[in-house]
Amino acid sequence: MPLERPDLAAALDRAKTACPGVVMDEVAFCTWLTGRTHEPLEQLPVEELFLAWACARGDPLALKQLDTQYLSRLGAAIARVDGSAEFLDEVLQQLRERLLVSRGGELPRIDGYEGAGPLISWLRAAAVRTALNAKRPHAREAVDEDAALEELPLAGPDPELLLVRTQHRALFSEAFKVALGELSARERNVLRLQGLDGLSLERIGEVYGVNKSTVSRWLARVHEVLLQRTRAELGQRLALDTAQLDSLFQAMRSNLELSVARLLGEGA
């Protein structure tokens, strides 16, 4: 039982106190909570995780609390895109539909909140992206991953590498997609905000409540991790020697922003 673990019992108490009246299935929530994180519960925003969990399952009091305590605080972030009252109402409605409506039998997207940062920061990032999409709904075209990767030039006129690229394009594309899929929600969103939406480091920092130096460090680390994971995945799929991989990934490093922007575009 959940209450047999002191840390879970304390977490449940915190969640119940923060969300009075919201119905909690203790076993279901604890199973969900412990199944998605290995962090000590004392370090997680369990109160906000429970609120998101309850909203995803349609609890009316949880939805009301989300609206009054969180969505009502997103106006300033949306106003940076367009300050009109009509635009604010439109974006908030789209955001509610995007995060709180179940599609295809799956739980609403708010169930994807993992507590890596404050819920308000997670919602603010989603609001900025929704606002940008609403402002320029026809600005993006879906791009096939293979076509996006094809635009990355090879490092030098190496006919053998060109042959590898031509003969194994599908595997190359799959390796990069696997690497993208392993990034965290925040990592993917920061990449989208910069590479796809063109936000400056300062603007992204405003979304997450940090300075631009922190955002710069995030992006540098994400780019490096993305390259290393792609390299490892591709190394398992293709019998390339070290020199060939080094040449191939040097080209990727110098063109990563273009590839990320296009590949993430299909999720917008």
pLDDT band at 73 (very low <50, low <70, confident <90, very high): very high
d(CA 100, CA 51): 12
User: Residue 239 pLDDT > 70, yes or no?
Assistant: no
Give the pLDDT band (50/70/90) at residue 29: very high
- pLDDT over 50 at 30, yes or no: yes
Cβ contacts of 221 within 8 Å, gap of 6 or more: none
50-67 mean pLDDT: 95
- The alpha carbons of the chain give a radius of gyration, in whole angstroms, of 21
Residue 128: predicted pLDDT: 87
For 48, phi then psi, to 5°, come to -75, -35
- In this prediction, what percent of the chain has a pLDDT beyond 90? 27
Residue 250 has pLDDT above 70, yes or no: no
Half-sphere exposure of 19 (CA within 13 A, CB side): 28
Q: If 0-12 CB within 10 Å is exposed, 13-18 middle and 19+ buried, where does residue 134 land?
A: middle
- Is a pLDDT exceeding 60 seen at residue 143? no
Q: 203: left (phi > 0), else alpha (psi -120 to 50), else beta?
A: alpha
What is the mean pLDDT of the segment spanning 70-89?
91
- Comparison of pLDDT for 173 and 22, the residue scoring more: 22
Q: Tell me the CB-side half-sphere exposure of residue 108, using CA atoms within 13 A.
A: 18
Residue 202 pLDDT class (50, 70, 90 cuts): confident
CA-based nearest residue to 246, from 169, 168, 172, 161: 161
- pLDDT reported for residue 140: 44
Most confident of 60-64, 168-172, 264-268: 60-64
Both tokens assigned to 147: 């076509």
- % of the chain exceeding 70 in pLDDT: 72
Residues 8-38 as b/e (b if ≥16 CB within 10 A, e otherwise) read bbebbebbeebbeebebeeeebbebbeeeee
Range 242-246 average pLDDT: 69
pLDDT band at 69; cut points 50, 70, 90: very high
Greater model confidence, 205 or 122: 122
The residues, ordered by sequence, that sit 6+ positions from 148 with a Cβ below 8 Å of its Cβ are 258, 259, 262, 263
pLDDT above 50: residue 198: yes
| Confidence at residue 177, expressed as pLDDT on a 0 to 100 scale | 77
DSSP state of 103: B
pLDDT-based confidence at residue 157 (cuts at 50, 70, 90): very low
| pLDDT band at residue 160 using 50, 70 and 90 as cut-offs | very low
Residues with Cβ < 8 Å from 94, sequence gap 6 or more? 130, 133, 134
CA distance 131 to 98: 12
d(CA 23, CA 64) in angstroms, rounded, equals: 13
**pLDDT reading at 225 higher than 50:** yes
Phi, psi of 103 (to 5 degrees): -130, 135
Q: In terms of Cα–Cα distance, which of 135, 113, 132, 133 is closest to 123? A: 113
Tell which wins on pLDDT, 142 or 97: 97
To the nearest whole number, what is the mean pLDDT of the chain? 77
Q: Provide mean pLDDT across the span 234-257.
A: 64
